[in-house]
Chains A and B, each alone.
Chain A
Amino acid sequence: MKLNIETHGRTTLAIAEGRLDFGAAGGFQKQLEQELGGAALILDCAGLGYVSSAGLRAFLVIARAAQSAGVAFSLCALQPAVREVFDLSGFSRIITVHTDRATALAQAAQPSA
């Protein structure tokens, strides 16, 4: 599991690559929790091929931390298998998901978003 961080204005873009399973979830969560300093945090999931319930738990913890910190948290570019897990678990309703990175960045750049 790899995480590359980019800064776009006041938005932090985290690009995930690999598998978010039991072994990777803890480190992933700690790493992303360090990235709540901007106005928005976008996690690009185009390179994320697998998410288990341990991964979902990490997403939930980060989404809550972002909410308390007043940071707009969203995901983008979910692969079909990850999207399925997201939909089944109801996470699509509690975490904002954009179709692609450009849409997510544009949304985050809006003043009142």
Chain B
Amino acid sequence: MPGEAAQLPLLTQFLQQFWATAGLPAAGLNSFELALEEIFMNVAMHAVQGGSVPRVELSLARAGDSVTLAVEDDGPQFDPLSLAAPDVAASLGDRPIGGLGVFLVRQLMDAVSYHRVGACNRLSMSKRIGVG
């Protein structure tokens, strides 16, 4: 699907349906909703700056009590994991606006990895969700 901000609700719905169909515990869903929004919006925002809309592909897989979300886009090479972590101890006045999204994803997920696959960026995020 096109990497445009307006597509986010549809993608979130897709994730929620996957979650419900697989019968996964509701408590684990938030981390994945957040990871999806942060990573997808990063792709969409970069695309706006770059002037062309990339194609984005989303995949979800469950293996035992672990769920993996992969977001792939055909935009220019960009590794979100290369971004510096924000200073989470900064005071209200010193706190920069932004830069938190990828940081939160790294904190909430067990494993996050970036690969350039052919002409695509692929970010893979996994977390054990404690089934049962």
| A contacts, CB < 8 Å to B | 21-23, 50, 52-54, 56-57, 60-61, 63-64, 67, 80-81, 84-85, 88-90, 93-95
Contact = CB atoms under 8 A, between A and B. Distances in A.
A94 B100 contact: no
Contacts of B27: 80-81
Contacts of A54: 37, 41
A90 B90 CA distance: 8
B88 interface: yes
Contacts of A89: 88, 100, 103-104
B101 interface: yes
A85 B97 contact: no
Contacts of B107: 88
Nearest to B101: A53
B8 A21 contact: yes
B60 interface: no
Contact of A50 (B30, B89, B108): B30
Interface string B17-43: 000000000010010011001100100
Across the A-B interface, the 7 shortest Cβ-Cβ residue pairs: A90-B88, A81-B30, A53-B101, A53-B100, A94-B92, A88-B107, A52-B37
Given A52-B101, A53-B38, A64 B8 contact: no
A86 to B, nearest CB: 10
B118 interface: no
Given A21-B12, A53-B98, A90-B88, 5 more contacts: A52-B38, A80-B27, A85-B34, A90-B89, A93-B89
B59 interface: no
Q: Interface centre among B9, B12, B92, B107, by most A CB within 10 Å?
A: B92
B34 A64 contact: no
A60 B88 CA distance: 13
A21 B91 CA distance: 24
* Most chain B CB within a 10 A radius of its CB, from A21, A53, A88: A53
Contact of A57 (B12, B97, B103): B97
Contacts of B58: none
B104 to A, nearest CB: 6
